[in-house]
Amino acid sequence: MRLICVDCGHTHPPALSYACEACGGILEVQGESGLEPPREVALLASMWRHAGRLCINDPANIVSLGEGLTPMRRAPRIEAALPGFHGEVWLKDETRNPSGSFKDRLVSAGIGKALELGARGVICASSGNAGASTAAYAARAGMPAIIVVPAHTPAGKLTQIAAYGAILLLVEGHYSRSYDLALGLARQAGFANLTTTFLNPWAVDALKLTGLEIFEQLGRVAPSHVLIPTGSGPLVKGVAQGFTETGATPKLVAVQAEGCAPIVRAFEAGAEAVTAWDTPRTIASGISDPLIGYERDGSYTLKLVRRSGGLAVSVSDAALRDAMRDLARLEGVYAEPTGASPLAALRRLLAEGRMPPDARAVCMITGHGFKDGAAFADMPARTHRVADPADVAAVARLCDHAMAEQG
């Protein structure tokens, strides 16, 4: 295995390298470990059943909590609620990963490679989910962890990070300020940087299995579209790479929030290069990434989207709330705002005629609702106080009335 620059093609030996030494470009892994499938039952029920396709050379360095192999469920009630739609909607439920988000895939591979390359600890800049994942896997590995997050990160994510025992640093301002601090701390401390932009190629490489899983779970037939919550975009790359290896080519849809949409802005302008956003304003903390200082990540993601014949689309906070509600009430999936963004985007694209009504669409539900329970707090709830629990008939009438109002 080695690292290769996606921009200039310069190759690098396997190391904790985060940018091309020749041009500063994004690095990706070339080659695979070729490890035999693991014998442990727990690993066979995780993404590590494909250990030979990942970056760990010694199975003793695998750090796993059971990530990957997440459910793929068809969403018939959502399909029925989409006007004029007669295709298929599938939910790739990444909330079922151990720490509640797809970030566990990256971190499992990244922390294992950090151990293999001799790192004495890990650092991660995060909007919340990657920090929780890194803290959990560092605890599993017995490694010190420093997590750097914006001070406005949802309380549920902060509580989860702190629970795992990591050092938690709160930084005022947008995510890119946390990103810069993590870069400096990693250099000074000699820790591996597990920030889950395109920074760590060993971590990003694991996401190719996401595309492969979708392909396998759909009966080895590609969907027409995969809708992906997108900050800097490594999950877009992972889905694209996984499908490329199968010979299938779904259209990739990068979904961003209207209050932080640098990739969508470039897509709509027909630009090749993404420019940084100013001040993010959205409830979708997981994709609230202005890309300040690492705009190259966004440009690479934009290139992958266009290469697939796909789209980049932004959604409003109001649409995010509607999607969160409907995922929960129609399909029983509790998703944070970022995780619900693909459904919001699907609705917009269908309404605007930018997606065919017979599409076979996969929505990547990337983060669990427990990450940001406050986002649900203002939604109408079917909650009623019972004054006299002995009066069963009165309570039954109350329930009948509430169900009739709900329709």
pLDDT per residue as tens digits for the range 255-310? 999 999 999 999 999 999 999 999 999 999 999 999 999 999 999 999 999 999 99
CATH assignment, 103-200: 3.40.50.1100
Evaluate if residue 406 carries a pLDDT over 80: no
Written out in words, the top-level CATH class of the domain with range 72-98+207-376 is alpha beta
Mean pLDDT of the 336-362 span? 98
Which pLDDT score is estimated for 373? Answer: 85
pLDDT of residue 405: 78
pLDDT digit string, tens, across residues 231-240: 999 999 999 9
Residue 122 · residue 134 · CB < 8 Å? yes
Whether the per-residue pLDDT at 379 is higher than 80: the answer is no
31-87 confidence digits (pLDDT tens) = 999 999 888 988 999 999 999 999 999 999 999 999 999 999 999 999 999 999 999
> How distant is the alpha carbon of residue 96 from its chain centre?
12
Buried b (16+ CB within 10 A) or exposed e, 94-127: bbbbbbbbbbbbbbbbbbbbbbbeebebbbbbbb
Average pLDDT on 318-331 reads: 97
Q: Please say whether the beta carbons of 285 and 337 come within 8 A.
A: yes
Determine the 3-state secondary structure of 228 from DSSP. Answer: strand
CB atoms under 10 Å from CB of 407, counted, come to 4
Tokens of 228: 């992906």
Task: Report pLDDT digits (tens) over 2-20.
Answer: 999 999 999 999 999 999 9
Domain(s) of CATH 3.40.50.1100: residues in the chain: 72-98+207-376, 103-200
pTM: 0.94
CB 271 within 8 A of CB 263: no
Split at pLDDT 50, 70, 90, the class of 404 is: confident
Query: What DSSP string runs through 352-370?
Result: TTSS-TT-EEEEEE-BBGG
Is residue 21 scored above 70 in pLDDT?
yes
Whether 209 and 242 have beta carbons less than 8 Å apart is answered as yes
> What pLDDT was estimated at residue 333?
97
Tens-place pLDDT, residues 132-180: 999 999 999 999 999 999 999 999 999 999 999 999 999 999 999 999 9
215-220 average pLDDT score: 96
> How far is it, in rounded angstroms, from Cα 390 to Cα 377?
30
